[in-house]
């Protein structure tokens, strides 16, 4: 019987406030771009509806199964910062630390800012953000992550190869037919061009049964009960069933009244009773040998029906913003101004691009649903985002000019100092 | 089905959207097999071969007797005497002229009905509402009223004429079915006129857009700077002063932008003055009235079309601009916006935000191009054929009772 690898994605972006080209200048640029009240509101709502109750259930599950139940998380850097900054965040963070202390929970590595830096031509920024995240996870939860999952499981051969070079044991991505062909996602594979790292693929059907269809009345299997679900898992062939979903599945995508929490309470016990065992990400790649090679020369992700990056880079609006930000790297870094660098990175969070999606306005509904400002569509979000990007660009210009002037002024003094030594 | 439609004007003699609307709607209705007697004041040169034009004036009533006229008889007599003397159709003031038209119209409808047997009567706005109500009473046929705009819209809520509001209230009460040109209009009729929601149907306008699909480019005319357009009556309803205020803000960021104010109206002197007060007189061009055949050109040379209306039950110019491929910034009060995805919406009073959006359109080709790609998709929701189908549906519903 295959084992079960359960993995949840936890993320909150710093959403932009209303930022007109006629904004009043604020010395605190972070306040100027990002709306604390708005973000705190989203955070508190999600904490109340999802993070706190779900963490409590997971902790109970671990205790009641005496550690047989195991889960893995990827928690973004921006989420952790919100825990540190916002009211009620401390409690949320504590509950995650509680989970970590059981030893049954593993934390994965991704970009600190949940960005698309993995798609930049220059690879430096991407790995800097990954490193920043790795350090943050170590600082908060005490252990350096060993398995890599990129933003929205965006994956290609290059990313996998680079992950191997950076000593990761495993990497996660989507298990979709147009990549797998006749092969099953329930096995561990080797990315093309790699020797050690293993790739673990999402079983999207079984994942979406919970993540997407759980409360869908149109679904023939509605309502989904824990024993029905376990019977499906038991019937699977392969090494491992990889269930990846957004953490907000619990309590937000499916609200409390749908019975999602009861499902989460019963599912692990039912599974264990039926002889399924749970593994964390590292345990999964450790236990199983790769059965074959996966060759993905294009960008794969778990988003939308296309499973590509078109949710973030599907139109000209998105490309324009993405390219603007990518093109600023050298200028930003040359200022050696850590505040500007941080703001630049906060603007790279992929959610900002997601709000600009114009894919057929009908299925764009999913995207609209996530727009941080009521009544704002892709055009309004583009204008706002671009205004902030352009403003930051001006700030960077200013800083580099000032930096240049400072250098010119200070140079003779430095020479004197050296001369004295 | 045979109907009496009570209008006011038809192209080429039009002062607003009503004439254009009647022209295209009747044409599309005629294609659906509806026989139309179209009533309007006498006008030479109007051609609409798909229907039967009935010109309403004294001569049309010459067979009637003075006793039918009651107290108006003397007034009409005098009026026609003056008319012969001065050679102008309306020597009385405008409201008298409307009154006189409505008065005559209902009587001619009554007489014609004896031979023509109308299934129903369809009138438009306050300007033919009195005739509509009167005709209904005289013939016993059901009445359909299309509301294009109300007195509140036309006066931007500032000083509505009670006299016209009363006509509108009567019409809303007496009509068997009301066609509203937008959900916004429907809502207004319910909230401000106490209309029975159950008898209101929303039918969106369409526009004859082929002539707007030109290939003209502003560079052909030696214009290289960004162009922002206002086009409409220069009246309080259309909010031209907000356009000028936004222009001032845009120029702070894009100093070489040009602003065109096209149209005529009573606010022109005030607007010219205002552009001087704002110190932007060298960036604003007042074109005055633009003849219909030149209209496509003015849209085509513009990079952004702005509709800053205080109140705009529909807003057909937005569709014209879109057909020309010009991205639009429109007031949230415009009914047409209810069905549009690919335009930017603003509060008409928020000139900073209006300027913010105009600037974004002028600066970012990606935004312009993405919006342009969506325009045709939006325009597909509007056609006269669809409007005629839906109007016919309202007629049929009306006849079923």
The structural domains of chain B, with segments of one domain joined by +, span 2-206+383-400, 210-379
CA-based nearest residue to A45, from A89, A77, A100, A99: A89
Instruction: Write down how long chain B is.
Output: 401
| Residue A95 C-beta-side C-alpha neighbours within 13 Å | 18
Asked if B352 and A320 come within 8 Å (Cβ–Cβ), the reply is no
Task: Please state, as a whole number, how many other Cβ atoms lie within 10 Å of the Cβ of residue B87.
Answer: 8
CA-based nearest residue to B230, from B206, B264, B269, B193: B264
- Residue pairs spanning A and B at CB distance below 8 A: 47
pTM value is: 0.88
**B339 vs A: CB within 8 A:** no
Full DSSP string of A222-233: PSP-HHHHHHHH
**A22 vs B: CB within 8 A:** yes
Burial annotation A241-252 (CB, 10 A radius, 16+ → b, else e): bbbbbbbbbbbb
- Least CA distance to B360: which residue of chain A? A383
In the 8-state DSSP scheme, what is residue A184? Answer: -
**B141 vs A: CB within 8 A:** no
* C-alpha angle B197-B201-B207 in degrees, rounded to nearest 5: 145
- Digitized pLDDT (tens) for each residue of chain B, 401 residues in all: 999 999 998 988 776 678 889 999 999 999 999 999 999 988 888 899 999 999 998 665 554 444 444 444 444 555 555 444 444 443 446 788 888 899 999 999 999 999 999 999 999 999 999 999 999 999 999 999 999 999 999 888 888 889 999 999 999 999 999 999 999 999 999 999 999 999 999 999 988 888 898 888 888 888 999 999 999 999 999 999 999 999 999 999 999 999 999 999 999 999 999 999 999 999 999 999 898 889 999 999 999 999 999 999 999 899 999 999 999 999 999 999 999 999 999 999 999 999 999 999 999 999 999 999 999 889 998 999 999 999 999 999 999 97
CA B207 remoteness from chain centre: 11
| CA separation for the pair B311, B285 (Å, rounded) | 24
Q: Do domains B2-206+383-400 and B210-379 have the same CATH topology?
A: yes
Residue B15, both tokens: 């002062």
Asked if A379 and B355 come within 8 Å (Cβ–Cβ), the reply is no
110-149 of A, contacting B, C-beta below 8 A? none
Q: Which residues of A touch B356 (CB under 8 A)?
A: 20-22, 383, 387
CATH code of A3-294, in short, is 3.20.110.20
Contacts of A269 (CB under 8 A, 6+ apart): A61, A64, A65, A226
Are the C-beta atoms of residues A177 and A244 closer than 8 Å to each other? no
Looking at residue B87, its pLDDT comes to: 42
- Least CA distance to A21: which residue of chain B? B356
Q: Are strands B143-147 and B177-180 parallel, antiparallel or unpaired?
A: parallel
Please tell me the CATH superfamily of domain B2-206+383-400, with its number.
Glycogen Phosphorylase B; (3.40.50.2000)
Looking at residue A273, its pLDDT comes to: 95
- Quote the ipTM score: 0.89
User: Nearest 10 degrees: CA dihedral of A337, A339, A342, A347?
Assistant: -110
Dihedral sign of CA atoms B99, B102, B103, B104 in order: positive
Asked if B253 and A319 come within 8 Å (Cβ–Cβ), the reply is no
Q: Which residues of A are catalytic?
A: 152
Q: Are strands A198-203 and A188-191 parallel, antiparallel or unpaired?
A: antiparallel
| CA separation for the pair A318, A314 (Å, rounded) | 7
| Residue B173 C-beta-side C-alpha neighbours within 13 Å | 10
CA distances from B332 to A252, A335, B339, B340 (A): 32, 43, 12, 11
Asked if A21 and B364 come within 8 Å (Cβ–Cβ), the reply is no
Q: What are the tens digits of pLDDT across the range A139-162?
A: 999 999 999 999 999 999 999 999
* C-alpha angle B100-B291-B29 in degrees, rounded to nearest 5: 60
Q: Determine whether domain B210-379 maps to CATH 3.40.50.2000.
A: yes
Looking at residue B379, its pLDDT comes to: 93
Asked if A383 and B360 come within 8 Å (Cβ–Cβ), the reply is yes
**B350 vs A: CB within 8 A:** no
Task: Please state, as a whole number, how many other Cβ atoms lie within 10 Å of the Cβ of residue A143.
Answer: 11
Dihedral sign of CA atoms A193, A203, A92, A49 in order: positive
Are the C-beta atoms of residues A293 and A190 closer than 8 Å to each other? yes
pLDDT-flagged residues of chain A (< 70): 360-369, 410-421
CA distances from B121 to A190, B5, B118, B148 (A): 77, 6, 7, 17
> Which residue of B344, B359, B366 is in closest CB contact with A21?
B359
Asked if A379 and B367 come within 8 Å (Cβ–Cβ), the reply is yes
Are the C-beta atoms of residues B230 and B308 closer than 8 Å to each other? yes
Peptide bond preceding B145: is omega within 30 degrees of 0, i.e. cis?
Answer: no
> At how many degrees (to 10) do helices B365-379 and B351-363 cross?
100
End-to-end alpha-carbon separation of chain A, Å? 72
Looking at residue B70, its pLDDT comes to: 40
CA A378 to chain B, closest CA, distance in angstroms equals 10
What pairs with residue A245 in β-bridges? A8
In the 8-state DSSP scheme, what is residue A138? Answer: H
Asked if B341 and A315 come within 8 Å (Cβ–Cβ), the reply is no
CA B352 to chain A, closest CA, distance in angstroms equals 7
CA A310 to chain B, closest CA, distance in angstroms equals 15
Query: In chain A, what are the domain boundaries?
Result: 3-294, 310-420
Residue B42, both tokens: 């006498």
Looking at residue B293, its pLDDT comes to: 87
| Residue B359 C-beta-side C-alpha neighbours within 13 Å | 24
Q: What are the tens digits of pLDDT across the range B58-80?
A: 665 554 444 444 444 444 555 55
């Amino acid at each position: 019987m295959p084992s079960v690898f359960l993995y949840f994605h936890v993320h909150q972006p710093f959403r932009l406030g209303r930022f007109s080209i006629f904004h009043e200048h604020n010395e605190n640029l972070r306040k100027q771009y990002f709306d604390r009240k708005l973000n705190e509101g989203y955070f508190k709502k999600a904490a109340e509806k999802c993070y706190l109750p779900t963490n409590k259930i997971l902790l109970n599950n671990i205790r009641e199964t005496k550690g047989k139940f195991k889960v893995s998380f990827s928690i973004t850097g921006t989420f952790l910062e919100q825990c540190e900054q916002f009211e009620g965040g401390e409690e949320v963070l504590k509950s995650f630390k509680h989970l970590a202390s059981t030893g049954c929970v593993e934390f994965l590595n991704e970009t600190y800012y949940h960005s698309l830096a993995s798609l930049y031509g220059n690879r430096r920024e991407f790995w800097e953000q990954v490193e920043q995240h790795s350090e943050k996870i170590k600082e908060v939860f005490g252990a350096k992550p060993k398995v890599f999952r990129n933003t929205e499981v965006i994956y290609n051969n290059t990313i996998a190869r680079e992950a191997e070079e950076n000593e990761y044991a495993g990497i996660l991505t989507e298990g979709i037919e147009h990549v797998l062909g006749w092969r099953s996602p329930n096995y561990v594979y080797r990315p093309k061009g790699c020797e050690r790292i293993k790739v673990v693929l999402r079983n999207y059907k079984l994942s979406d049964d919970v993540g997407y269809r759980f409360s869908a009345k149109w679904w023939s299997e509605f309502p989904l009960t824990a024993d029905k679900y376990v019977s499906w898992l038991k019937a699977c062939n392969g090494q491992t069933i990889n269930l990846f979903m957004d953490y907000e599945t619990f309590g937000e995508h499916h609200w409390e009244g749908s019975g999602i929490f009861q499902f989460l309470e019963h599912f692990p016990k039912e599974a264990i009773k039926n002889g399924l065992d749970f593994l964390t990400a590292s345990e999964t790649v450790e236990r199983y040998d790769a059965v074959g090679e996966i060759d993905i020369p294009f960008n794969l992700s778990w988003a939308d029906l296309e499973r590509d990056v078109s949710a973030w880079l599907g139109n000209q609006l998105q490309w324009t913003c993405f390219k603007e930000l990518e093109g600023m790297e050298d200028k930003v870094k040359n200022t050696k101004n850590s505040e500007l660098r941080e703001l630049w990175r906060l603007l790279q969070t992929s959610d900002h691009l997601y709000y600009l999606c114009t894919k057929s306005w009908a299925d764009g509904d999913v995207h609209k649903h996530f727009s941080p400002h009521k009544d704002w569509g892709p055009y309004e979000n583009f204008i706002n985002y671009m205004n902030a990007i352009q403003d930051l660009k001006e700030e960077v210009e200013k800083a580099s000019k000032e930096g240049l002037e400072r250098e010119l002024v200070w140079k003779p003094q430095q020479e004197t100092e050296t001369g004295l030594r | 089905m045979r109907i009496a439609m009570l209008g006011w004007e038809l192209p080429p003699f039009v002062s607003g959207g009503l004439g254009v609307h009647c022209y295209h709607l009747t044409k599309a209705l005629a294609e659906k097999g509806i026989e139309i007697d179209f009533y309007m004041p006498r006008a030479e040169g109007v051609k609409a071969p798909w229907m039967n034009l009935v010109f309403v004036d004294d001569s049309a009533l010459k067979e009637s007797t003075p006793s039918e006229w009651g107290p108006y008889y003397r007034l009409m007599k005098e009026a026609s005497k003056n008319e012969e003397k001065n050679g102008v159709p309306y020597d009385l003031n405008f409201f008298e002229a409307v009154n006189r038209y409505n008065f005559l119209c209902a009587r001619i409808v009554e007489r014609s009905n004896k031979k023509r047997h109308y299934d129903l009567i369809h009138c438009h706005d306050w300007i033919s509402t009195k005739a509509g109500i009167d005709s209904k009473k005289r013939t016993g046929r059901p009445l359909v009223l299309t509301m294009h705009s109300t007195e509140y819209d036309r006066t931007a809520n500032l000083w509505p004429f009670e006299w016209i509001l009363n006509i509108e209230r009567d019409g809303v009460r007496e009509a068997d079915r009301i066609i509203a040109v937008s959900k916004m209009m429907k809502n207004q009729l319910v909230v401000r006129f106490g209309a029975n929601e159950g008898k209101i149907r929303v039918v969106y306008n369409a526009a004859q857009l082929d002539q707007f699909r030109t290939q003209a480019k502003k560079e052909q005319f030696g214009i290289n700077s960004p162009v922002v357009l206002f086009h409409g009556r220069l009246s309080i309803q259309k909010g031209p002063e907000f356009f000028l205020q936004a222009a001032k803000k845009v120029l702070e960021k894009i100093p070489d932008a040009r602003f065109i104010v096209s149209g005529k109206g009573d606010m022109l002197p005030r607007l010219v003055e205002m552009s001087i007060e704002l110190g932007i007189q060298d960036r604003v061009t007042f074109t005055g009235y633009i003849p219909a055949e030149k209209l496509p050109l003015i849209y085509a040379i513009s990079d952004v079309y702005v509709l800053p209306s205080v109140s705009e039950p529909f807003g057909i110019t937005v569709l014209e601009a879109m057909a020309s491929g010009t991205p639009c910034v429109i007031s949230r009060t415009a009914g047409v916006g209810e069905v549009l995805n690919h335009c930017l919406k603003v509060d008409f009073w928020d000139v900073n935000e209006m300027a913010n959006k105009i600037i974004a359109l002028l600066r970012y080709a990606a935004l312009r191009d993405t919006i342009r790609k969506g325009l045709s998709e939006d325009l597909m929701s509007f056609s006269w054929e669809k409007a005629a189908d839906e109007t016919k549906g309202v007629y049929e519903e009306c006849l079923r009772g």
